[in-house]
Chains A and B, each alone.
Chain A
Amino acid sequence: NAGVTQTPKFQVLKTGQSMTLQCAQDMNHEYMSWYRQDPGMGLRLIHYSVGAGITDQGEVPNGYNVSRSTTEDFPLRLLSAAPSQTSVYFCASSARRSGGNNEQFFGPGTRLTVL
């Protein structure tokens, strides 16, 4: 199993550009989530999903959209990038719908810079 994969590894955007960060898992996990990690801030939850077709907001959802059309994929879309979105983004998955109450498996991260 590849586990949780994320693409791209690095990305530089200009303010106002849009892009999609890809996340996929091959473990048939129901729960998937996106976090951003900023220096001195730990990880903050952006959006999460408990299964295909179901998404919900986390702590810092503004400026981001998600969808979950399949169990495997959970893309994160930046609609109009801002310098404040410069961060490292992590995708994670967990086996059951009550994913917050179980072990999370993390991807390697995407380092995004917005100029």
Chain B
Amino acid sequence: SQQGEEDPQALSIQEGENATMNCSYKTSINNLQWYRQNSGRGLVHLILIRSNEREKHSGRLRVTLDTSKKSSSLLITASRAADTASYFCATVIYGNNRLAFGKGNQVVVIP
């Protein structure tokens, strides 16, 4: 079953704007990961946030995790056309060695 569910599922923004995506999940997790997939390519890891962390940054990316609400958000600041991609969240539950991916969130950045 799908653990992560991203919202919104499609987003279109102008270059330079910020893009925010949310991910919700149902069971307690060990960690949550965000991946990017460019059209026709494999997935690329962006950030991993553990259940005892609340926020992480990587360049223009900011990820938050709220375990009480079972949700995470990915913020891309000052978006670029190259950020056009699908973004997936994936969760790992305690005692499990497997990632469960959400359905993905398509982001289009208009130059």
What residues make up the interface of A, taking CB atoms closer than 8 Å to B?
4, 31, 33, 35, 40-45, 48, 50, 58-59, 90, 92, 97-109
Is the pair B98, A98 in contact by a Cβ cutoff of 8 Å?
A: no
Chain B interface residue number, banded: 20 to 34
Report the separation of the CA atoms of residues A33 and B90 in the bound assembly, to the nearest whole angstrom: 14
Is the pair B97, A105 in contact by a Cβ cutoff of 8 Å?
A: no
Q: How many A-B residue pairs have CB under 8 A?
A: 66
**Residue of A35, A58, A102 contacting most chain B CB atoms (<10 Å):** A102
Residues of B within 8 A of A98 (CB): 97
Q: Judge whether B64 is part of the interface by a CB distance below 8 angstroms.
A: no
Is the pair B43, A104 in contact by a Cβ cutoff of 8 Å?
A: yes
Is the pair A108, B42 in contact by a Cβ cutoff of 8 Å?
A: yes
Residues of B within 8 A of A102 (CB): 48
- Chain B 11-35 near chain A by CB (<8 Å), digits 1 or 0: 0000000000000000000110101
Question: Of A33, A41, A101, A105, which is within 8 A of B92 by CB?
Answer: A101
Is the pair A101, B31 in contact by a Cβ cutoff of 8 Å?
A: yes
For the complex with contacts A35-B101, A42-B103, A99-B97, 12 further pairs of A-B residues with Cβ separation under 8 Å are A43-B43, A45-B98, A45-B99, A48-B98, A92-B42, A98-B97, A100-B97, A101-B97, A102-B48, A104-B99, A106-B44, A109-B41
